[in-house]
A and B are shown apart, each in its own frame.
Chain A
Amino acid sequence: MRTRSLKQVLPGLILLAVIAVLGILAYRFMGQESFIRTALSGLTLGALYFMVAAGLTIIFGLMDVLNFAHGAMFMTGAYMGWQFYTNPTFLFGILPLLLAFLTGLSTTSLWIPIVSKWKLSEAWAKRLGGLLVIAGLTLIVTGFLKFDLLGLAKTAMVAAMNAGNPLAEATPQEPLGIFWRRPLLLLLGGILIAIANAHPGDKTQVVTFTNKSASWLRLGGLVVLTVLSVLFRESASIAVLKLNGNLRFFMALLVGAGIGAGLGAMIEVSLIRPLYARPFYIVLITLGLGYILRETIQLLWDPVAYSMEVPPIFSQPGKAANLLAWFSGNNLTINILGVTFPSYRLFIIVLGSLMLLGLFILMRYSRLGMIIRAGVQDRNMVEALGINVKAVFSTVFAIGVGLAALGGIGAAPFIPVTPNMGDAYQMQGFITVVIGGMGSYGGAGIGALLLGMARAFGDFLALKFNMSPAIAEASTVIVMIIVLLVRPSGLFGKKE
């Protein structure tokens, strides 16, 4: 049906009318200045909520996975970006180890034709996999022995305290003569786990040769990257620190998002993929993962709140008279319709809008988006058309987590960087997704906007009438209740 019946559109119209009336009332009651100020902070909050909700909703829409570690991934993104921006010694220090391990793991498909021919008794075939994994893990732990992880992690903390000259305080790293053993051990550990993955002695598995050259290519690329990362682990971080602060900041956004996406892909492949048949286990495993991420970060960087400095492009002294003037002055604040507004918050709003636009383009015009939209309806049919749905799942999970991490690093100069920074946003992210309709990224956009506004105006009212700030916090839940009463499956949700 091309024209929707009045009954279908009515709740939406009522919602719009209610919002319009509330908006006009608020404008009359508050006066232009505080109305605009509050609306702008509502937009900022909405953008932050959307950054968390976007990943949540596309992951849920395609895979029915509720990712309870999403807030922790938002937080991890913030830490990684903050590290890269302030002093990337830690990141470049562990990169060779990570790459070496991945190189080892990536040999799995190459081992299958070899190890499937091994003649093993049934008992040994069962046992060997476990033994190989234990041996591999032992090698990995050995590779990390006496590795000064905490010392590396401190570099950014020290740098944050000596903002003027971060290089001066960079911790000296292990000389290459000692260091080279570590990536080697991790490589071997990865290879042992890869062999276990290839199920030695299991003749029943079908060998696919179609991707053989791709496997070799990937292996070769990883080896080259590993060697490069070993050789340049010190000079790379110095080179990054010599870059202009703005460039470093935008690179940090990409690095944070990239690390998040990589983390997401690894988590999907290793922890979530085996459990698709057991959704409840996935909830538990993502919850647990959130704790592990938070504790690991806390171990590395202490349970302290850091404030990431705002990059120079948003922090030149003075106030820009308008947006155009800001482009030449890069001032700390901008005059928007008579309201003095921090330019970095404007950047957060722009970043959130760009994310929405990017998602729209991805979902609407790319082949991946087409596959995702089809997969939401019928995964089996997509698979039967010759599309590797498992790989699509990993990609979507990686994109979702990457978006959360990008949101985290975008938020880092605006909110304190702490191990718990993502928790509140995860909560609001879930509420956003429920309001917008599970799986709808457009709905998440509108839901985030509603929630941001509710929160900002709630804050304003609480302050005005000397009420507890808890009222403002409850406002988002109140919006959710109202929306769900009118439309139980969310604004853009499909009726069950």
Chain B
Amino acid sequence: MDNILTLESIQTYIGQFHILEGVSINVPRDSITVLLGRNGAGKTTTLKTIIGLTPPREGKVIFDGEEVQGKRAFDIANLGIGYVPEHRAVFRNLSVMENLKIAEKKRGDLERKADFIFGLFPDLKRLYRLPGNHLSGGQQQMLAVARALVADNKLLLIDEPSEGLAPILIEQMMAAIKELSKTTTILLVEQNFIMASQLGENYYIIDDGKTVENGKMEDLVKNEALIKQYLGVSLGRDGGDN
């Protein structure tokens, strides 16, 4: 299968701490792949390793046929990766417009994409001139996702988009991500298993810094034992507890 992103036995350290001890992932083109696992398993570090913020000490990151491990983060991002970090890290002292503008990789990106972005997140159009710190948590999360859409990215890394969102906003976010997956590949980290299972086509489970299971999402949903073992959630309950 044609993979846009491949991780081969990644070892990542943060300072003294050995966080990733063998993560191998294939992300097929034009699909949503979901990273699952408990808190502290290494999902966020995996995303940061791909984009180059926490470079791996060993292993390969192959994006679109090119080895990118060891490159600087901005170089990797400019190859066509958009990153949506956890905790809705928008720039609080920049306006919504500037938050989007700063993500331009080519001049005029924002003008070309504005209609598409406002179609997904109509609220942002109304808030266009406001500073980031005037936005509610949900609006900030929308802005963080929108920011990754300004440039023409081939792959989006999205870290916990539903974290702390009200149910109605989770619906809106899910609809947006589904819409996005029609045009881009998405690697999603999501604690909310219901959201993850409805969006994802493929899944990887990371436990203690290692990829332990992977396959089709439809198979995982049927496998209650596996879900219990690694995720500690049952399908009946909202898994967004952190």
Contact = CB atoms under 8 A, between A and B. Distances in A.
B51 interface: yes
A438 to B, nearest CB: 15
B74 A388 contact: yes
B91 A373 contact: yes
Contacts of A376: 93
Contact of A383 (B73, B91, B101): B73
B67 interface: yes
A243 interface: no
Interface residues of B, number: 28
Contacts of B75: 208, 210
A442 B161 CA distance: 36
A383 B72 contact: yes
A386 interface: yes
B interface, over-half SS: loop
Query: Which of B68, B77, B147 has the most A CB atoms < 10 Å from its CB?
Result: B77
B132 to A, nearest CB: 9
A344 to B, nearest CB: 38
Contacts of A377: 91-93
What interface size band does chain A fall in?
A: 20 to 34
Contacts of B102: 367, 370-371, 374, 382, 385, 387
B94 A381 contact: no
A204 B67 CA distance: 11
A383 B75 CA distance: 9
Given A371-B102, A381-B85, A382-B102, A387 B91 contact: no
A386 B73 CA distance: 7
Interface in B74-97: 74-75, 77-78, 83, 85, 89, 91-94
Nearest to B99: A374
A210 B74 CA distance: 13
A485 B91 CA distance: 30
Nearest to A1: B134
Interface string A261-285: 0000000000000000000000000
Given A2-B134, A381-B85, A386-B105, A374 B94 contact: yes
Contacts of B70: 204-206
A380 interface: yes
B93 A373 contact: yes
B67 A206 contact: yes
A378 interface: yes
A9 interface: no
Nearest to A387: B74
A446 interface: no
B231 interface: no
Contacts of A1: 134
A208 B77 contact: no
Interface in A163-211: 204-206, 208, 210
B134 A384 contact: no
A384 B71 contact: no
B91 A388 contact: no
Given A208-B71, A370-B101, A385 B77 contact: yes
Interface string A368-410: 0011011011101111111111100000000000000000000
B21 interface: no
A381 to B, nearest CB: 5
A371 B68 CA distance: 24
Contacts of A210: 75, 78
Contacts of B208: none
Contacts of B85: 381, 384
B151 A386 contact: yes
B201 interface: no
B74 A386 contact: yes
Contacts of B67: 206
Interface hub of B51, B102, B134 (most chain A Cβ within 10 A): B102
B98 interface: yes
A210 B102 CA distance: 21
Nearest to A211: B75
Interface in B135-151: 147, 151
Given A371-B102, A377-B93, A383 B77 contact: yes
A370 B94 contact: yes
Contacts of A204: 70
B53 interface: yes
Contact of A385 (B68, B92, B134, B147): B147
B62 interface: no
Contacts of A384: 51-53, 73-74, 77, 83, 85
Given A374-B93, A385-B147, 19 more contacts: A204-B70, A206-B70, A367-B102, A370-B101, A376-B93, A378-B91, A380-B53, A381-B85, A381-B89, A381-B91, A383-B53, A383-B77, A384-B53, A384-B83, A384-B85, A385-B102, A385-B103, A386-B77, A387-B102
Q: Which 4 A-B pairs have the closest CB atoms?
A: A386-B77, A386-B78, A374-B91, A383-B73
27 contacts: A2-B134, A206-B67, A206-B71, A370-B94, A370-B98, A370-B101, A370-B102, A371-B102, A373-B93, A373-B94, A374-B91, A374-B93, A376-B93, A377-B93, A378-B91, A382-B102, A384-B51, A384-B52, A384-B77, A384-B83, A384-B85, A385-B83, A385-B103, A386-B78, A386-B105, A388-B74, A390-B72
Interface of A: 1-2, 204-206, 208, 210, 367, 370-371, 373-374, 376-378, 380-390
